[in-house]
Structure 1
Amino acid sequence: MTIPNNFDVDDKVCVITGGSGILGSEMAKAIGRNGGNVVILARGEEALQETSEELTKLDVDHLTVSASVLDRAELEAAAEMVIEEYGRVDALINAAGGNSPAATTDEDTSFFELPADGFETVMDVNFLGTVLASQVFGEYIVDEGEGVILNVSSMNAFTPLTKIPAYSGAKAAVSNFTEWLAVHMSQNYSPDIRVNAIAPGFFLTEQNRYLLIDESTGEYTDRGQSIIDNTPQGRFGDPEDLATTVLWLLSPGSEFVHGAVIPIDGGFSAYSGV
């Protein structure tokens, strides 16, 4: 049996929330290099401009839109801009998210002292932002009768990490919502609308660098070294490591993958520590 090469995203219109971030922008580059049209949706004009310049250098057809994933009116206005520019939405990647020091325990801050608004911030941007963007852009995908929603979960969703209770809980909610939305879309709209998630392992980003790298020495923190010791491949992920899995989940080559959360973690989730 000959397996066809169906890893094709040519001319697909893919909206990426948090698309100016480290991981989101890398996904945008991968999709664009492989013929897709990308819409970068994020807050912060400077980051949007920098991402746009990088995509322009790669000759990637793209649109940048400034909007908050927590503001439905801004998301609806952004969706209208996408439809005006491209006429449809083929895929949504919910990459907006992150942790906050205000929801992180450390030597000076116990769990009992963490403020409620720190939890709310992390839960909102990771979980509620995923829900709202899926509602707004998902309607356009339903109009097409086919398409992909790809959420960004985390290793924390499988086994919560120490120090970051809000982020772990928020990503667990994203994984659960991914499964729920997959069933809901198939049962109520179309079996050709697929919903999946990726669960990145440990990637160095601006949000977590302070936890993993000692700023004064440039060496791994105790936490960073522990992660490396428990990752069979012995390194942190590079943003590029996400690209092939993302392309696969967006393309027809994964047409029977639905409601799944795919680890991209260098073996971290497979290692018992012994």
Structure 2
Amino acid sequence: MSEPFLRSLFGLEGKVAVVTGGSGALGAAMAQGLARAGARIAILARRIEPANAVAAALADAGSDAFALSADVRDRTQIEHACNTILERWERVDILVNAAGGNMPGATLAPDAALRDLDPDAFRTVVDLNLIGTLLPSLIFGAAMIAADRQGVIVNISSMAAQRPLTRIAGYSAAKAAVDNLTRWMAVELTRRYGPGLRVNAIAPGFFIGEQNRSLLLNPDGSPTARGASVIAHTPAGRFGVPDDLIATLIWLCGPGAAFVNGVVVPVDGGFSAWSGV
């Protein structure tokens, strides 16, 4: 297979990509993948130190990258970040909404009653995952529209959106809303502004991060009872690793996916396909 043919399908040379939550394990891996495909990268994160570290690693590898501090729930901060990126590169072509997460209060403890679920924590998780996807999409989407009505938004969903998981209340509800928002925005943007604007999502299966490590792994690295249950229901027989997301992301962002719009792509080792029987 020739390199020009692959570039015509997947090449991102010269594109400007913004990755929110780009200092996390999944966000950093996706930023690296986009950079290796030729994109210039803006890393957005609340804490600037880890974001700078990711951007520096990309720059050391020969990519054009820099970091900005911004809370995805704060419209003013996102607008400032967008303006900074436009001043530097004059355009935004790709937005990856990788910021998100969970918190203990929005998760029901094993021995807790339903009334013990904390509505304030639930609201915080919904704000982080749903509003934290909506606001960057509105602001960077407007920049895409203002430029040439060309651009790609990729949201990060979850298996928790598609198949209810025990205990994980706030995160599941928020990611289910992200799926719905993805489809709504895909239709709205394309019908209103043309086929050059696309919105899709990736739904990762079970990946180990700092927030779920103790839930899925013991201190010695072996699976907990819940982790073992996850693996038992994943035909691939393992947890995902961040690099598993890169090929799907590059495909969704690239020219070869020009007719792919409004889909949520599972990257889950077969978890969503298996009934458990």
TM-score by length of 1: 0.96
Check whether the contact 1:142–1:190 (CA below 8 A) recurs between aligned residues: no
Mapped to 2, the partners of 1:110 and 1:206 lie a distance apart of 26
Mapped to 1, the partners of 2:221 and 2:238 lie a distance apart of 15
Where do residues 63-82 of structure 1 align in structure 2 (5 Å cutoff)? 63-82=66-85
Q: Which stretch has the larger CA shift, 46-55 or 15-24?
A: 46-55
TM-score by length of 2: 0.95
Where do residues 32-51 of structure 1 align in structure 2 (5 Å cutoff)? 32-51=35-54
Check whether the contact 1:29–1:60 (CA below 8 A) recurs between aligned residues: no
1:55 is paired with a residue whose SS is helix
Q: Does 1:98 align with 2:101?
A: yes
CA deviation after TM superposition for structure 1 residue 189, in Å: 1.2
CA deviation after TM superposition for structure 1 residue 187, in Å: 1.2
CA deviation after TM superposition for structure 1 residue 267, in Å: 0.5
CA deviation after TM superposition for structure 1 residue 112, in Å: 1.4
Check whether the contact 1:27–1:246 (CA below 8 A) recurs between aligned residues: yes
Check whether the contact 1:157–1:172 (CA below 8 A) recurs between aligned residues: yes
Q: Which stretch has the larger CA shift, 223-232 or 39-48?
A: 39-48
Gaps of 5+ in 2: none
Mapped to 2, the partners of 1:149 and 1:271 lie a distance apart of 29
2:102 is paired with a residue whose SS is coil
CA deviation after TM superposition for structure 1 residue 4, in Å: 4.1
Mapped to 2, the partners of 1:207 and 1:117 lie a distance apart of 19
Q: Does 1:30 align with 2:58?
A: no
Give the one of 212, 215, 220 matched to 2:223.
220
Which residue does 2:244 correspond to in 1?
241
Q: Does 1:85 align with 2:61?
A: no
Q: Give the alignment's Cα RMSD to 1 decimal.
A: 1.4
Mapped to 2, the partners of 1:110 and 1:98 lie a distance apart of 23
Q: Does 1:119 align with 2:122?
A: yes
Paired amino acid for 1:19: G
Paired amino acid for 1:88: R
CA deviation after TM superposition for structure 1 residue 53, in Å: 2.5
CA deviation after TM superposition for structure 1 residue 56, in Å: 2.3
Q: Does 1:256 align with 2:259?
A: yes
Mapped to 2, the partners of 1:107 and 1:270 lie a distance apart of 27
1:218–1:148 CA distance, 2 compared to 1 (3 A) = same
Check whether the contact 2:11–2:254 (CA below 8 A) recurs between aligned residues: yes
CA deviation after TM superposition for structure 1 residue 192, in Å: 1.1
Mapped to 2, the partners of 1:146 and 1:155 lie a distance apart of 29
Where do residues 54-69 of structure 1 align in structure 2 (5 Å cutoff)? 54-69=57-72
Q: Does 1:137 align with 2:137?
A: no
Check whether the contact 1:17–1:96 (CA below 8 A) recurs between aligned residues: yes
Q: Which runs of 4+ in 1 moved over 6 A?
A: none
CA deviation after TM superposition for structure 1 residue 50, in Å: 1.9
Gaps of 5+ in 1: none
1:50–1:110 CA distance, 2 compared to 1 (3 A) = farther
CA deviation after TM superposition for structure 1 residue 123, in Å: 0.2
Check whether the contact 2:159–2:205 (CA below 8 A) recurs between aligned residues: yes
Q: Does 1:175 align with 2:161?
A: no
Which residue does 2:275 correspond to in 1?
272
Paired amino acid for 1:129: G
1:103-130 deviations in Å (ceiling 9; x for gaps): 1112343331121111011100100110
Check whether the contact 2:17–2:39 (CA below 8 A) recurs between aligned residues: yes
Mapped to 2, the partners of 1:65 and 1:218 lie a distance apart of 34
Check whether the contact 2:56–2:65 (CA below 8 A) recurs between aligned residues: no
Mapped to 1, the partners of 2:21 and 2:118 lie a distance apart of 25
1:4-43 deviations in Å (ceiling 9; x for gaps): 4311111110111111111000001011112110110111
Check whether the contact 2:52–2:66 (CA below 8 A) recurs between aligned residues: no
Which residue does 2:213 correspond to in 1?
209
Which residue does 2:188 correspond to in 1?
184
Mapped to 1, the partners of 2:205 and 2:274 lie a distance apart of 12
